[in-house]
Amino acid sequence: MIRKTNAFSLFAALGLILAAPSGLTSAHAQEREFRIGLITPPAHVWNQEAAALGETLAELSDGRFSLSIYPSGQLGNESTMLQQLQTGALDMAWLTTAEVTTRAPDISALHAPFLVENIADAAKVLRSDVAREMLDTLPSATGTVGVCYAMTGMRQLMTRNPIDDVSDLSGMRFRITPAPPIRSFFEMLDAAPAPMPLTQVYDSLANAQIDAIDMDFESIINFRYYEHAPNMMVTNHHMFGMVALISGRVWARLSSEDQEILREAVQLHCDRTIDRFVEEEDEKLARLREAEGLTITEDVGPDFFGDIVERWDAEWAERTPYVARLRELVAGF
């Protein structure tokens, strides 16, 4: 009982200090080390930009802010990190847009199959007002503030055995990022989706627990998935977004000046991440063309998948108006 009272007083005092206007507190009292979690490994562009974010935060805060990075799902998978953000145990995370779709179904629209034809248009969608509007649902749905989107490129199909026809996908155990809109896509293809975190994919392929994966060039290069799935179809069948989240509890305790520093710094590195993916996507495909043992089938368009776009839209347009709104946006590009 006594311990509870003390803990509460300490928490309340801390809250007061953090919430006080900047003129009333010493610079020392506002020094702050933020913690950011990512599922991706240190080599990934997200992690490189997260490291650069630490430097930007230090610069913009005159050295008051620093950032410690927890890569490779060290703090748990993405759904665990989302819970930690909600409780305030974690300050920030860069999560896949796929992860938030369970709680914020509108964001599923970003995973609409063949929404965009290329990565440059994916960047335009992620920077659009329509897409940004969907971030407004995050505080109530997840207890987080969604500052901006970035991405990890377009998604491709990698399979253990060669694929000649869409019917070959039938019954295939396809690893997917856990997310209802992605599950729907593979179910509609009569495949057997196997949701699992990124950190389990390589071993699951190596142990033959799965036959195929839905993946982006960056991760294919980082993890060398072609060692166990040596056939890649360049489908670009959906964009794979990232959303930069800050714990709502942490956010509420920051002064408006400090919130602005965080917003500016995170936005800068979302933008840089998007620019890097747009600039480097072709180069990554060129590198994969050189990968030993990998057979690539290029330019596999929506026609290969039959009427998947119509069927997916028919189901998901019922669940969120953003499917129609994003299709309309892209039609105007």
Q: In the complex, which residues of this chain contact ligand BEZ (CB under 6 A)?
A: 39-40, 96, 152, 177, 198, 215-216, 219
* Alpha-carbon span 38 to 96, nearest angstrom: 9
CB of 111 to ligand BEZ, least distance (A): 12
Which CB, 219 or 236, lies closer to ligand BEZ? 219
In whole angstroms, give the CA distance from residue 114 to residue 306: 12
Is the four-CA dihedral 240, 77, 217, 210 of positive or negative sign? negative
Cα-based distances in Å from 7 to 2, 4, 13, 262:
9, 5, 10, 28
Give the nearest distance from C-beta 10 to ligand BEZ in angstroms.
Answer: 37
Nearer to ligand BEZ, 67 or 198 (CB): 198
Kindly state the smallest distance separating residue 175's Cβ from ligand BEZ, in Å.
8
Six-digit token string for 153:
């490129």
**3-class state of residue 232 by DSSP:** strand
For the chain, how are helix, strand and coil distributed in percent, rounded to 5?
A: 55, 20, 30
Q: Which is nearer to ligand BEZ, 278 or 329 (CB)?
A: 278
Q: Which amino acid is at 59?
A: E
Residue 40 or 159: the one with the smaller Cβ distance to ligand BEZ is 40
Can you name the residues that pair with 94 across neighbouring β-strands?
38, 244
Report, in Å, the least distance between residue 16 CB and ligand BEZ.
Answer: 38
* Helix (H), strand (E) counts: the chain: 14, 10
Q: Which residues have CB under 8 Å from 80's CB, separation 6+?
A: none
Cβ pair 123, 274 in contact under 8 A: yes
Is the Cβ of residue 39 or residue 265 nearer to ligand BEZ in the bound state? 39
Q: Which is nearer to ligand BEZ, 81 or 261 (CB)?
A: 81
Least distance between ligand BEZ and beta carbon 260 (Å)? 28
Q: How far is the CB of 241 from ligand BEZ (least distance, A)?
A: 10
Q: Helices marked H in the chain — which ranges?
A: 2-19, 45-60, 78-87, 97-100, 119-126, 129-134, 138-142, 180-188, 201-206, 217-223, 248-252, 256-289, 308-316, 322-331
Distance CA 38, CA 147 (A): 16
User: CB of residue 19 vs ligand BEZ: minimum separation in angstroms?
Assistant: 34
- Two tokens, residue 306: 């039959």
Give least dist CB 138 to ligand BEZ, A: 18
Q: What's 144's DSSP letter?
A: E
Question: Taking CB positions, which residue lies at the least distance from ligand BEZ?
Answer: 177
41/302 with CB nearer ligand BEZ: 41
Closer of 240 and 316 to ligand BEZ (Cβ): 240
| Closest approach of ligand BEZ to the CB of residue 152, in Å | 4
Distance in angstroms (rounded) separating the CA atoms of residues 162 and 260: 50
- If the CB atoms of residues 205 and 261 are measured against ligand BEZ, the closer one turns out to be 205
Reported as type and span, the H/E element at residue 36 is strand 32-38
